[in-house]
Amino acid sequence: MNGNIISDVRGRLRIGFRPQQLGPDSFERLSSGIMKSGEVKFVSFSRLTGSLLVYYDKGDERRKAILDIIQDFDPGPSVPVSCFGAKSLQVGEECPLPFNPIYTKLLTLVLLPRYLRIAWNIIIAVPYVLKGLKHLLWKNKLDVEVLDASALMVCYLRGDFGSAGTLLFFYALSDYLECWTRRRSLACLFHSLKGPEEKVWVKDPETKEMRQVPESELVIGSLVVIQAGGLIPVDGIVEEGVASVNQATMTGEPLPVHMEHGGAVFAGTAVEEGEIVIRATKVGGNTRIRSIIEYIKESEASKSGLQGRAERMADSIVPFNFLLSLGTFLATRNVAKAGNALLVDYSCAIRLSTPVAVLSAMQEGNGSGILVKGGRYLEEIALADTCVFDKTGTLTEAKPQVTEIITFQDGVHESLSRDEALSLAACLEEHFPHPVGRAVVNLAKKEGLHHEVEMHTKVNYVVAHGISSSWKGKKVLLGSHHFVVDDEKVPMTPEAEAASKRITDQGQSMVYLAVEGFLTAIIVISDQLRYHAKETLRALKDKGIKHTVMLTGDLAATAKNIAGKIGFDEFRAQLLPDDKAAAVKEMAESGRRIMMVGDGLNDSAALSLAGVGIALSDGSELAKDVANVQLLNGRIDALPVARLLAERTMRRTRENYWIIVILNSFYLSLGLLGFAGAGLTSFLHNATTIMVAWRASKPFLAPSERLQPKLPEAEPAKSADGPAITDLRQASNP
């Protein structure tokens, strides 16, 4: 297959192809071949750009091997993703099965005389033989297809038509059972992933008013408003605004793309910075369901390194089958015994059991609120030795509350009353749906404080800092100390300094409101630690996590207080998003296997750099999109369950591999020694395949090990100085 190299950086290749040259079906086959070739970390295909992205261990030999595989690959005609002849999974429709081979066998036995059955079996055998010849002569491979074709040819050449018919029956039965098992696993996973329909903001083209509507109500021409951290639900053209759009889901590239008026955006991508209004050109009430189906297909193709290694080892055994057959013939001059060495293969059971185990684990994890986006991420969770946490919104509850509003007056600048400060802050914060903003807006609503629709002009959001706007012709700033005081140089009066020190000593956080260069108010926010945060960390350490690290944009005093309460080995404070990403990269380069847990827009870069990124369901859309795992219930105590599930999945796939190798080697020995004929050997081999597939689909966790329902906790004790646990999200951590 011909293509052109778009990007060639050491350890990373991007190959471009002609339109429609590589479809979803052919990508799955090509991805499998590349993953089996060696130490390949990641393979993805962009349907939008028609390009293939491969990350691999650095080395010229590995690069050449990947390019050779792509060059030699035959994509064939573009067809829907299929499952052994069954059409692809559709909404509300299960993948139909081929005709049951048991019925076919019974009908031929009853209706056809012996010579017609032999002719029928020869016709059925032709595709298997041709496929084996193609792999041997055109692809120069000795794999399981060649082995199957050779076994059939041996049976026919020695006139053993009964054994040939038995082989064909078990080949068909194996394909049928694999299709049935996959269909069942995929269908169960699909139904478990379906959730409530998302709502989006739309703008009325005439009145310019905004309202929330379900995605299913969007039509072509709808003006959809997407703000920082929001996921784009439609294909469309940017009508207003400027934004940086993360298109990693489309192109595989981590760097955001600048979008302004006239730019084309696509469903499934996310706005990192800015705000845009999109005129929809492609919509659909089933958009989210279709994306779930695509996710399931890609998850199935997202093979773990363990599966790739197991498949490579299984295929590597095939040449030894032929050597063993040749050796047996030379030693015994017995064609029957030599042929028996070709009747057992190892790859079939491995290729069925491993993806079934992964899909079953994903389904079981989803039942405990753990959404894993592919088998390789289960492996990363199992191998991780370092767990990195964002603090605000991850370790603390996602529902901070305003506990105090302090206003300042100096007799010179225009001052605001408490209610005026809260109303103005709520007017600004309602544009950005992060926990602190919700806390401010909710308090204003609770107290019945309403503001005029056009109370301010354009709102500008500064990532990881705060909000800048204009009110009554005056510049208004709302955000962290770093943004308002350090960057914007708003002076702190002695009264404000004293209040800030008192609040910091109590372990609470602050949002600063400044009008025209004067610090008008400090809004004090407090939040409790998330449910079982301390117990979660202890459980992770019990399950083999050697290092626990907390990253936060908060001040060192607050960070130290929280880290000490929970029991972290290390913490780093006053970090911007780039600093968090740099910290994760530094730890990974030192040899640690990183599992990063976050929830905010400012955690996205760090999540993408970790071996496995884990986001909370109540976090930003971008964080959830970038992350490899989502905790659907927003509970970090699901992490030890995810670790246990991942370890059990990896252990079972390894156990299944050795069961397959040992039992099939035993059956092979029976055939070579003359204790079992071709029919019995084939029966035992396929029975083992069915057994390991059943074993792979069994639950991994006992009921007591799954995530238990959350129980109400007692109110935390409060001291005269403030809440006992009072750490929260700053405006610098939206």
| pLDDT for the residue 83 | 33
Rounded Cα distance between 495 and 497, Å, is: 5
Reported as a single tens digit per residue, the pLDDT across 606-654 is 887 888 999 887 777 667 777 888 888 888 889 999 999 999 998 998 8
Higher per-residue pLDDT: 328 or 674: 328
| pLDDT for the residue 713 | 45
Beta bridge partners of 643: none
Higher per-residue pLDDT: 659 or 179: 659
Tell me: domain 373-397+531-634, CATH 3.40.50.1000, correct? yes
Threshold 0.85, pTM exceeds? no
| pLDDT for the residue 714 | 41
Beta bridge partners of 5: 15
Above 50 in pLDDT, residue 352?
Answer: yes
Reported as a single tens digit per residue, the pLDDT across 671-688 is 777 777 666 777 787 788
Chain centroid, CA 196 distance in Å: 19
| pLDDT for the residue 184 | 61
* CA–CA distances in Å: residue 379 to residues 158, 307, 512, 628, 648: 46, 10, 44, 12, 10
The most confident of 129-133, 191-195, 411-415, 666-670, by mean pLDDT: 129-133
398 — pLDDT class (breaks 50, 70, 90): low
Higher per-residue pLDDT: 3 or 192: 3
The amino acid occupying position 449 is: L
Least confident of 262-271, 580-589, 639-648: 262-271
Above 90 in pLDDT, residue 388?
Answer: yes
CB atoms within 10 A of CB 438: 18
Q: Which two tokens stand for residue 110?
A: 């009853």
The residue with tokens 């007056």 is: 409
Above 50 in pLDDT, residue 53?
Answer: yes
> Cβ neighbours of residue 210 under 8 Å, at least 6 residues apart?
201, 202, 203, 204, 225
The most confident of 171-180, 369-378, 562-571, by mean pLDDT: 562-571
Reported as a single tens digit per residue, the pLDDT across 340-351 is 777 666 766 776
| pLDDT for the residue 561 | 80
Rounded Cα distance between 310 and 215, Å, is: 42
| pLDDT for the residue 185 | 56
Nearest-5° Cα angle at 434, 490 to 642: 130
Closest CA to 647 of 568, 542, 570, 567: 542
CB atoms within 10 A of CB 426: 25
| pLDDT for the residue 94 | 42
Reported as a single tens digit per residue, the pLDDT across 113-164 is 888 888 888 888 898 889 888 888 887 777 777 878 887 888 888 787 877 7
Rounded Cα distance between 669 and 279, Å, is: 68
Above 80 in pLDDT, residue 197?
Answer: no
Q: HEC states along 600-665? A: CHHHHHHHHHCCEEEEECCCCHHHHHHCCEEECCCCHHHHHHHHHHHHHHHHHHHHHHHHHHHHHH
Q: Is the CB of residue 410 less than 8 Å from the CB of residue 416?
A: no
42 — pLDDT class (breaks 50, 70, 90): low
Q: Is the CB of residue 552 less than 8 Å from the CB of residue 603?
A: no
| pLDDT for the residue 721 | 35
Above 60 in pLDDT, residue 437?
Answer: yes
| pLDDT for the residue 89 | 38
Above 90 in pLDDT, residue 277?
Answer: yes
Beta bridge partners of 404: 524
Above 90 in pLDDT, residue 512?
Answer: yes
234 — pLDDT class (breaks 50, 70, 90): confident
* CA–CA distances in Å: residue 229 to residues 137, 244, 342, 620: 53, 10, 57, 6
What mean pLDDT do residues 567-580 have? 86
Rounded Cα distance between 458 and 465, Å, is: 17
Fold entry, domain 4-72: Alpha-Beta Plaits (3.30.70)
Rounded Cα distance between 17 and 53, Å, is: 12
What mean pLDDT do residues 723-729 have? 27
Q: Which two tokens stand for residue 660?
A: 């397959």
Instruction: Give percent above pLDDT 70 in the chain.
Output: 75
| Residue 372 DSSP code | E
178 — pLDDT class (breaks 50, 70, 90): low
Q: Is the CB of residue 279 less than 8 Å from the CB of residue 223?
A: yes
| pLDDT for the residue 386 | 94
| pLDDT for the residue 642 | 94
The most confident of 280-284, 291-295, 411-415, by mean pLDDT: 280-284
| pLDDT for the residue 182 | 59
Phi-psi region of 20 (alpha: psi -120 to 50; beta: other; left: phi over 0): left
Least confident of 264-268, 356-360, 410-414: 410-414
Instruction: Give percent above pLDDT 90 in the chain.
Output: 12
| pLDDT for the residue 576 | 76
State which CATH number among 3.40.50.1000, 3.40.50.300, 3.40.50.2020, 2.70.150.10 fits the domain covering 219-283: 2.70.150.10
| Residue 206 DSSP code | T
| pLDDT for the residue 627 | 81
Tell how strand 235-246 and strand 270-282 pair up: antiparallel
The residue with tokens 């995810």 is: 642
Q: Is the CB of residue 548 less than 8 Å from the CB of residue 569?
A: yes
Give the CATH H-level superfamily of domain 401-526.
Answer: Calcium-transporting ATPase, cytoplasmic domain N (3.40.1110.10)
| Residue 485 DSSP code | I
What mean pLDDT do residues 236-264 have? 74
* CA–CA distances in Å: residue 548 to residues 507, 540, 587, 598: 21, 9, 11, 14
| pLDDT for the residue 118 | 87
**Where along the chain do its domains lie?**
4-72, 101-192+305-358+648-703, 219-283, 373-397+531-634, 401-526
Reported as a single tens digit per residue, the pLDDT across 454-490 is 455 566 666 556 788 888 888 899 988 888 888 889 9
> Cβ neighbours of residue 412 under 8 Å, at least 6 residues apart?
none
| CA Rg value for the chain | 30
Rounded Cα distance between 424 and 514, Å, is: 11
| Residue 124 DSSP code | H
Q: Is the CB of residue 532 less than 8 Å from the CB of residue 636?
A: yes
Q: Which two tokens stand for residue 393?
A: 């919104």
Least confident of 148-157, 311-320, 487-496: 311-320
Above 70 in pLDDT, residue 432?
Answer: no
Rounded Cα distance between 509 and 729, Å, is: 7
